[in-house]
Amino acid sequence: MLPSDVRPADPPIPLTERLDEVVFYVPAYMGPVDDLALMHRMPELQVVQLLTAGFESALKYLPSGVTLCNAGGVHDASTAELGVGLILTSLRGIDDFARAMPSGEWQHSRREALVEKKVLILGAGGVGSALRSRLQPFEADVVMVGRAARPGVHSVDDLPDLLPDADIVVLALPLDERTRGLVDAGFLARLADGALLVNLSRGPVVDTEALVTAVGSGRIRAALDVTDPEPLPVGHPLWTLPGVLISPHVGGNSTAFLPRARRLVSEQLIRFALGEPLMSFVVT
């Protein structure tokens, strides 16, 4: 029994019963679509702060007049780090060696080095720039491609000339109507034999059927952190095609995520409270 002057704390009121009070909303990281659909039940909503760099899935749920911010900068280092890992694993055959361990097979062989490889990075934003800074110490020749040409960055219009000379092509682009299906059969046909395609962006940037055909021919290889569809269904050809390495969309999901996400949300809340401009807004 509790003393007469001590009462248990009131249980917290469920979020769904307080939606009419929400002005600043942070949906769960990689949460269900239902979290995004809640926005239409928040009449006072002013700001939505995502914890992902990609924001395309939130757009159709975003009420008119609400500011949408992504997690720009939060995932750059971790995603670039995974990109390096996927490239090195594919080139040096680390995945093959790991699969050979249970049977005790000693697969001594000469594999490809990253040294002097020409790496074409599509996307000159945070992830692309972070990846460039990590690849250059490997003595790779890194070429950047952005939406528009600027010093040190080629335009996407230059791709037909750049693709045939690339040993590795890394996708670090946002998904929108301009990039959806960008990597199609024609794009893949321009790649040199033996080229490696690395996707760190979003699955629909690549035409999956065209990729299966190109990799299935043995002409190119792929290392994918994202796929279309996603999750990739059991039995999909990409799971078993030689030359394909898949990680389950974990580019930004490292131990670096939570501290950086907390710092971003804290800074955004302070700016919001003080009426200062928000960072990383993508729709306003």
Q: Would you please indicate which residues are annotated as catalytic (active-site) residues?
A: 202, 230, 249
Q: What is the 3-state secondary structure (H, E, C) of 212-257?
A: HHHHHCCCCEEEECCCCCCCCCCCCHHHCCCCEEECCCCCCCCCCH
* Rounded Cα gap, residues 85 and 116, in angstroms: 17
Sign of CA dihedral 81, 83, 87, 90: positive
Tokens of 280: 């990383």
Cis peptide before 137 (omega within 30 of 0): no
* Rounded Cα gap, residues 128 and 117, in angstroms: 17
> Who contacts 149 (Cβ-Cβ below 8 Å, separation ≥6)?
155, 157, 158
Strand ranges (DSSP E) for 20-152? 24-25, 47-49, 67-69, 118-122, 141-146
Whether 209 and 228 have beta carbons less than 8 Å apart is answered as no
- SS3 breakdown of the chain: % helix, strand, coil, rounded to 5? 35, 15, 50
Pairing outcome for strands 281-283 and 67-69:
antiparallel
Q: Is 17 exposed, middle or buried (0-12, 13-18, 19+ CB in 10 A)?
A: exposed
> Angle, nearest 10°, between helix axes 76-92 and 126-135?
50
